[in-house]
Structure 1
Amino acid sequence: MELRQLEHFVAVAEEQHFTRAAERLAVSQSGLSASVRALEQELRAPLFSRTTRSVRLTEAGQALLVEAERTLAGARAARDAVDAVRGLLRGTLTLGVEQCVAGVSPARLLGAFRREHPHMEIRLRQEGTSSLLEGVAGGRLDLAFAATVSPPEWRGDLVPLAREPMVVLCAPGHPLAATGTRPVAWSALDGESFIDFHPDWGPRRAADEAFAAAGVRRTVALEVSDVHSLLELVHQGLGIAVVPHHFSRKPEARGLVTVEVDGAEPAVYRSVVVLPPAGTMSPGARALMALVREAPVR
């Protein structure tokens, strides 16, 4: 079993398509197919269920994918460590970002990183909190900027970035807008129509936890996957949104009314850097974390 074969296998598993995987790896499709077949023959098990329209992992393929990602991550870390000793920072930095992260600007950080380490390849994945945690744990990501409410048991580090309250955003004509600067109780939101993100996004998890703690049930009528859409729907009076306070400072939120929520336990949104277990952080991740610690909080 060769690293090249594992790279081919992981690419097909991620793309779920041999042609796209071959294009991504810049190899011929016939060569890629032959590499995967040779791997299946060596393991004596089919790794993919193939049809004319789709490619799916078999049970054996799912088991191999976890170990293949770890093996490839270890190989990359080994190469990066040798380059670091030689005074070079090469290789690939793969990081994940949740779009609603607060306390740091990933774009500005990566710009500074590229200027300091021009020979490093940067790969960015935007995903939800659960996927980011799984990605770092499995070695698919070197580190991640994520949102977390109650951090799960984690073998690595969760480095705090920001902590802020959750607030309500509503259109000027909504009854809640008449409360002025007075906070409202969670119970006052009962029966409202809510606009929110998909369940895996950090702000949604924070809001869900806050409503559960207050004993208030709610229905998310409109579910989106980006901040712009959420704020536009609130502008149109289609519902209200419970979001981290920094959303109210976005240009797209201009004209919306911000209402604080009063409760026995304040609803808090936290942003963190998700790091792998001690001793396994790549040189690229260490270099990026050095910039994170130098960056001013935004």
Structure 2
Amino acid sequence: MVGRAGSWLYRPVTVLQHDELRPLMFSIAYRMLGSVAEAEDIVQDAFLRMYKSELDGTAIDSPDAFATTITTRLAIDALRSARVRREHYVGQWLPEPLITSDDEPARRVETDETISTAFLVLLETLAPVERAVFLLREVFGYGYDEIAGIVEKSESNCRQILARAKRAIAERRPRFEADRQHQAELAKSFLTAANEGNMEALHQLLADDVVFVGDGGGNAPALEHPVGGPVQVARFFIGLLKQSARVGMRIEPVEANGQPALRVFSPRDEVLGVLTFGVADGQIHTMHSVINPEKLTHLGQVGDLGALLSQPS
């Protein structure tokens, strides 16, 4: 993985391959942490460590492997700290939304089910090393020998860790529809029906086990508990649209975490929230709404949703 400067294996990393390595590093860090801000910090820290290694005379013969190792180890440490904070999180915890329809190289990721909001929530049930082993093997396709070196475990131990993680994931793995165009069309139909107050159409679009989860983190008015069932979710969402219209919010269809989503703005074009739709079998099964302002700062200027909703009619 590494060699001494002057070796025929030596290839400078920090300048020539910075842009090439960043998407891989961000993809690992974001899937590990579910936080855009923390993932960006880890990527920056990893590059600084790689640069320092080169200054110290260490030549890197496999930049991808070196970057993956540093990024994963930093993410494991960060996740251990984050899990302590999340135990005391106010309300439901959801990952920070990643707008995957925006062409932003620094945050470009391969969009599959493992980037979806529901799957990132499920990954929270794994211990940090379990999460790393699962992602490195199942998502990024690393061999057990490589993973063992990254997480500093034996190959046999990594196999056991992966088996345990896969059992935990299999029990609650969310359904996922791969046809992104169909997902977007279904979400559009749902928004149209909700604007029209068409309960019959909404009931057909929502799965019987549909759930609406909100994340305000104690910093914005959000649900204390998820809302479940097609009738309850439909009525709740129609109510949200009426409130939005009353105070002049603007709703923009986007793609977030590889799923159809809505980005909500204030009348002054401040970001207020992102809502993602989880689609499978031709119906909406999950709706995840992030309105915690601390989780939206990477999307631009954030507005005060509570103050906006408290305005008199």
Per the TM superposition, whether the score is higher than 0.5 is: no
Q: TM-score, normalised by structure 2?
A: 0.23
Give the structure with the larger strand fraction: 1
Q: TM-score, normalised by structure 1?
A: 0.24
Q: Which of the pair has more CA radius of gyration?
A: 1
Give the structure with the larger helix fraction: 2
Instruction: Identify which of structures 1 and 2 has the higher relative contact order when contacts are C-alpha pairs closer than 8 Å and 6+ apart.
Output: 1
